[in-house]
Chains A and B, each alone.
Chain A
Amino acid sequence: MTHLSVRSGADAPVCDDGHMTFDVQVEVLLRPGIADPAGSTIERSLPTLGFDGVREVRVGKSIRFMVEADDEAAARAMATDMCSRFLTNPVIEDAVISVVAAGGAS
């Protein structure tokens, strides 16, 4: 099961057709308990540059897009569905989704 956490923003601008535009950011991270060899390698490397005391380095990817939807809940629902069916592999990855109103109406 994919675990999704959602951050929300302010009300989005409304288009002529009643749709609103939202900026969506999806952060994909390996699930807790899944080995993150890239994160571990970075963590082991940082002390060689003098950065001591760094822990829990995790490497993921960020996917950003704009979406038109009736409201924020609908935009969030779309992004959540995209994550569970395509943008993440629920066996090994989690997503953090943030949905905020776009800068201007479309």
Chain B
Amino acid sequence: MTATVGVVVFPGTNCEFDSADAARLLGAEPRMLWHQNPSVADVDAVIVPGGFAHGDYLRPGAIARFSPVMDAVAEFARSGGPVVGICNGFQVLTEAGLLPGALQKNAGLKFVCAPAAVRVETTTTVLTREAAVGDVLHIPVNHFEGNYTCSPETLAELRDEDRVVLRYVENPNGSVDDIAGICSAGRNVVGLMPHPERATSALLGSTDGLVLLGSLLAAAAV
């Protein structure tokens, strides 16, 4: 059976088609979920893609969390459904309280747009189950506010519970503990700044995103 991947679209989202194409490439059926839709219907996984939801007004993700679809995404996550937030989607998930911490402006006010090497730190998450610990993936980053931060208590919790999913090999943005991606306590909600949907073809320079999105689809099929 073909897995259905819901792709959340806010006004200002701009990575929904890349995410949908990547899902299609992996044999899934993408379905756009407009932000005013109060339901995610019967999707098997949810991607909150990158962009500038609601113009990033106030703070990235601050307004998006009030969109009706986010209540449905939260409910889907609570019931164990796989959810991944990419870039702005990661910011939305932190603002919505589905992931801890916050993403602040990059160190040195530096906008980064470059391939980044990230190391897989755990494989017991919906985004990394088909990867191996220690794998180094080359995936583009493209952000101004990707500098992950959290309280020392939260950081200790993330480490103790093996919830740092990806770390940068070379930190591009000042992120605490080189964190590029984290997961929820239930390990079914993952947020990351790199864009795996942009690393799905040799023509794009890397296919390393496939193992991550393939993991998501494998998790969706369970």
| Interchain CB contact (< 8 A) of B107 among A30, A37, A91, A92 | A37
| Docked pose: A87 CA to B109 CA in angstroms | 22
Tell me which of B98-106, B114-122, B162-170, B178-186 binds A: B98-106
| Interchain CB contact (< 8 A) of A91 among B58, B101, B108, B174 | B101
| Docked pose: A41 CA to B150 CA in angstroms | 23
Q: Are A91 and B109 in contact (CB under 8 A)?
A: no
Q: A34-B149, A35-B174, A86-B62 are in contact. Are A91 and B102 (CB under 8 A)?
A: yes
| Interchain CB contact (< 8 A) of B108 among A34, A37, A87, A89 | A37
Q: Does A46 contact B (CB under 8 A)?
A: no
Q: Are A41 and B59 in contact (CB under 8 A)?
A: no
Q: Does A57 contact B (CB under 8 A)?
A: no
Q: Are B149 and A91 in contact (CB under 8 A)?
A: yes
Of all chain A residues, which has the CB nearest B60? A89
Q: Does B95 contact A (CB under 8 A)?
A: yes
| Interchain CB contact (< 8 A) of A41 among B58, B62, B109 | B109
Q: Does A4 contact B (CB under 8 A)?
A: no
Contact partners of A34 in chain B: CB under 8 A:
104, 149
Q: Does A38 contact B (CB under 8 A)?
A: yes
Q: Are A37 and B109 in contact (CB under 8 A)?
A: yes
- Which residues, 59 to 91 on B, are CB-close (under 8 Å) to A? 59, 62
Q: Are A38 and B102 in contact (CB under 8 A)?
A: no
Q: Mark A84-102, 1 if CB is under 8 A from B, else 0.
A: 0011010110000000000
Q: A91-B151, A92-B149 are in contact. Are A35 and B62 (CB under 8 A)?
A: no
Q: A89-B95, A91-B149, A91-B150 are in contact. Are A37 and B102 (CB under 8 A)?
A: no
Contact partners of B107 in chain A: CB under 8 A:
35, 37
Contact partners of A38 in chain B: CB under 8 A:
105, 109
Interface centre among A41, A87, A91 (most CB of B within 10 A): A91
| Interchain CB contact (< 8 A) of A92 among B102, B109, B174 | B102
| Docked pose: A92 CA to B106 CA in angstroms | 13
| 19 cross-chain CB contacts under 8 A | A30-B104, A34-B104, A34-B149, A35-B104, A35-B147, A35-B174, A37-B105, A37-B106, A37-B108, A37-B109, A38-B105, A41-B109, A86-B62, A87-B58, A89-B59, A89-B95, A91-B149, A92-B102, A92-B149
Known: A35-B147, A35-B174. 12 other contacts (CB 8 A): A30-B104, A34-B104, A34-B149, A37-B109, A38-B109, A86-B58, A86-B62, A89-B95, A91-B101, A91-B102, A91-B149, A91-B150
Interfacial residues, chain A to chain B (CB-CB below 8 A): 30, 34-35, 37-38, 41, 86-87, 89, 91-92
Interfacial residues, chain B to chain A (CB-CB below 8 A): 58-59, 62, 94-95, 101-102, 104-109, 147, 149-151, 174
